[in-house]
Amino acid sequence: MKRMSTQSSNMQGSILHVTSPLVLSIATLSIAVLCNLVRHLINASTWPSITKESFLRLLGIRLGDIPTTVILDSAVAVDALVRRADDFSDRPPGGGATAIISNGKLQIITTVPYGPHWVALRRNLSSEAFHPVRGLARAAPHRARALAGLVDDIATRSAAVPVRECLYAALFALNAATCFGDGVVDGERVEAMRAAQQEFFRLLPSFSVFATFRKVARLLYRDRWKQLVHCRRRQEEMYLPLIRACQERRSTARCTTTVSYVDTLLDLEVPDEEATNPQGRRKLSDGEMVGLVSEYLGASTGTVLALLEWTLANLVLRPDIQRRLRGEVEAAAGEACAYLRAVVMESLRRHPPIPSVQRHMRRDVVVGSTPVTRGTLVNFSLEEIGRDDKIWTSPEEFIPDRFMPGGEGEGVRLTIGSKEAAKVMMMPFGAGRRICPGMGYAILHIEFFLANLVTAFEWHQVKGQAVDLKPHHGFFTTMSNPLHARVVRRAPVS
Ligand code: HEM
């Protein structure tokens, strides 16, 4: 390029002055296309069909793709995520619908870069909404209502219960209640929100093309961009009136006690990047609140739903495990259940709903022995770590006993501290500063629903419909073929 500009300075005013850089660029581009084309033809057995993606690849452009180093080793993962957290606490930029659509101006917990804004959003979720007393204990009536609705729903279904559908309705209603509090969302509205949110998460992985070269991607994927805008608009139309209703409820009831996630968001103040005073704080904007509500509903429903469905599928396949679990829960009468925890741990190990976590590098680093350059990604495979055959015996099998006393997984913890590297055998909730803040809420709900569902019903295979454990890797890892089960009603749930 430097040589070109020297040349052109001698040709002021000539047409060549204008065209030669263009001609050279076209020539360079053509060579690049030809090289890539030859490479494709050498690798492909047939002539490649020309799609938008393949054409861009010929140009050497991979929309949404950032060079990535994949880590499969748990010790390397812990060293990076936990011990060197200063370098490993940022997610890839440009992810998440809220951030994409606002060009990075509006952020949610998942996408916000590590820093004071992240601290404020995250602390609000983990210490306010998920506070053991103010949050989790207060949600008990919502949980009881959701369970009663779920049991009624399952009991009235015909021979093959569509397990995912029933669980989705119950979990979404529960999370909408903990999100907005009492009396704000009616059943019909919850159903519309659930359908919209389900559609949004189905489409979300396809929006990753907008993570890089956004302007080009918007031109090439106009329909996809329209879908993204449409999804976001629907969320605003649905959630903003509910947020207003929460505001209204607070002012009329003269009640300032925190009762829901939205209440905590209405109280929250985050650092004001535009303030002249570095200590300046501001309230959240409407756009930010819509994104945070969507994140809350999506993360709290999709993950727990996936895990419960996987667990029930394994219990259908293994009546012996199901019977033992039921026996333990009934005998425990509300006390802690070691085998219940073991079943949940085994499910998290074998079927982590989020298969990997990504970190974006702000500077050049070395991970394990691999140099990783600034601006690229490191992907830690939670799925592979949980199924490492150097750590686990028969890792593909569902064996809750591994987590019982004397088992190879005895004492495995999900919260990973810097001194625990030697014992880290799985990390379904991630690790380091960005570890999942919903872990306690998730485990509470998974155990609550599972314990009640195995005591309320016996779960059997539907005749002629084999349970298929093939995974579908969407935004969450779910069963490729949703579980259908034949259920037999047992004692009513207390
Ligand atoms: C079985 C249930 C769940 C699993 C397996 C799970 C897993 C994960 C994983 C692997 C991460 C990434 C962690 C990392 O990058 O190191 C994450 C982050 C996150 N999860 Fe969960 N999660 C679950 C439930 C929940 C629930 C119930 C919520 C409640 C809203 C939630 C909210 C979040 C949020 C907000 C983040 C981003 C945290 C941050 O960037 O600081 N998750 N989760």
- Is residue 45 assigned to a domain? no
439: CA distance to ligand 1 center in Å?
A: 7
* Amino acid present at 307: L
For ligand 1, whether the C-beta of 181 sits within 6 Å is: no
pLDDT tens, position by position, 275-320: 888 789 999 999 999 999 999 999 999 999 999 999 999 999 999 9
Could you tell me the residue range of the domain that residue 154 belongs to? 62-489
109 CA → ligand 1 middle, Å: 10
Which tokens is 114 given?
A: 């590590």
Ligand 1 centre distance from Cα of residue 295 (Å): 10
Residue 56 in domain: no
**Per-residue pLDDT tens for 134-144?**
888 888 999 99
Check pLDDT > 90 for residue 426. Answer: yes
Give the number of the atom of ligand 1 that is nearest the alpha carbon of residue 348.
5
Supply the residue whose CA is at minimum distance from atom 36 of ligand 1.
436
437 alpha carbon – ligand 1 mean position (Å): 6
Strands 68-71 and 377-381: what pairing? parallel
Give a three-class secondary structure readout of 248-268.
HHHHHCCCCCCCCHHHHHHHC
296 CA to centre of ligand 1 in angstroms = 10
The predicted pLDDT at position 258 comes to 56
CA of 488 to the centre of ligand 1 (A): 34
In a domain, 21, yes or no: no
Q: Is any atom of ligand 1 closer than 6 Å to the C-beta of 431?
A: yes
Cβ neighbour number for residue 215 with a 10 Å cutoff: 8
For 292-428, where are the E strands, in sequence order? 356-360, 365-367, 370-372, 377-381
Instruction: Kindly tell me if the per-residue pLDDT of 35 is higher than 60.
Output: no
Binding positions for heme = 436
Count of domains observed in the chain: 1
The verdict on the CB of residue 442 being under 6 Å from ligand 1 is: yes
Across the chain, mean pLDDT equals 86
Looking at residue 76, which CATH number applies to its domain?
1.10.630.10
CA of 104 to the centre of ligand 1 (A): 21
Indicate which atom in ligand 1 lies nearest the CA of residue 130.
29
Q: Is there an atom of ligand 1 within 6 Å of 64 CB?
A: no
| DSSP bridge pairs for 358 | 379
Instruction: Answer whether 354 contacts ligand 1 (Cβ < 6 A).
Output: yes
Residues forming the annotated binding site? Answer: 436
Report whether pLDDT(31) > 80. no
Mutation pick for ligand 1 pocket among 91, 117, 265, 436 (CB with most ligand atoms within 8 Å): 436
Ligand 1 atom closest to the Cα of residue 431 is 16
378: Cβ below 6 Å to ligand 1?
no
**Residue 70 pLDDT > 90:** yes
For a ligand 1 pocket test, name from 78, 201, 303, 416 the mutation site with the most ligand atoms within 8 angstroms of its C-beta.
303
Sort strands 365-367 and 356-360 into parallel, antiparallel or unpaired: unpaired
| Distance (Å, whole) CA 409 – CA 406 | 8
Nearest residue to 413 (alpha-carbon basis) of 404, 400, 423: 423
The 10s digit of each residue's pLDDT in 93-125 is 777 788 888 888 889 999 999 999 999 999 999
Residue 277 lies in a domain: yes
Examine residue 23 and state whether it is found in any structural domain, yes or no. no
Mean pLDDT, residues 342-365 taken together: 96
Q: Is the CB of 168 under 6 A from ligand 1?
A: no
Q: Ligand 1 mean position to 22 CA, how many Å?
A: 48
Confidence of residue 213 (pLDDT cuts 50, 70, 90): confident
434 lines ligand 1 (CB under 6 A): yes
- With CA atoms as reference, report the closest residue to 74 among 329, 409, 310: 409
Work out the burial of residue 144: count CB atoms within 10 Å of its CB; fewer than 13 is exposed, 13-18 middle, 19 or more buried. middle
Per-residue confidence at 415, pLDDT binned at 50, 70, 90?
confident
48 belongs to a structural domain: no
**First-residue to last-residue Cα distance in the chain:** 76
Please state the ipTM of this predicted complex.
0.99
CA-based torsion, 441, 443, 448, 453: positive or negative: positive
Residue reference for tokens 């089960």: 485
| Short-list 177, 136, 168, 175, CA closest to 150 | 168
Give the closest residue to 295 by CA, choosing from 258, 257, 265, 269: 265
Our answer on whether the CB atom of 438 is closer than 6 Å to any ligand 1 atom is yes
What pLDDT shows up at residue 44?
55
428 lines ligand 1 (CB under 6 A): yes
For residue 246, tell me if it sits in a domain.
yes
122 Cα nearest atom in ligand 1: 41
pLDDT over 50 (residue 33): yes
Give me the pLDDT at residue 300, please. 96
Q: Is the pLDDT of residue 62 over 80?
A: no
Q: Ligand 1: does its nearest atom lie under 6 Å from the Cβ of 296? A: yes
122 CB less than 6 Å from ligand 1? yes
Task: Find out whether the beta carbon of 300 lies less than 6 Å from any atom of ligand 1.
Answer: yes
The region of weakest confidence among 64-68, 176-180, 434-438, 439-443 is 64-68
Within a domain: 213: yes
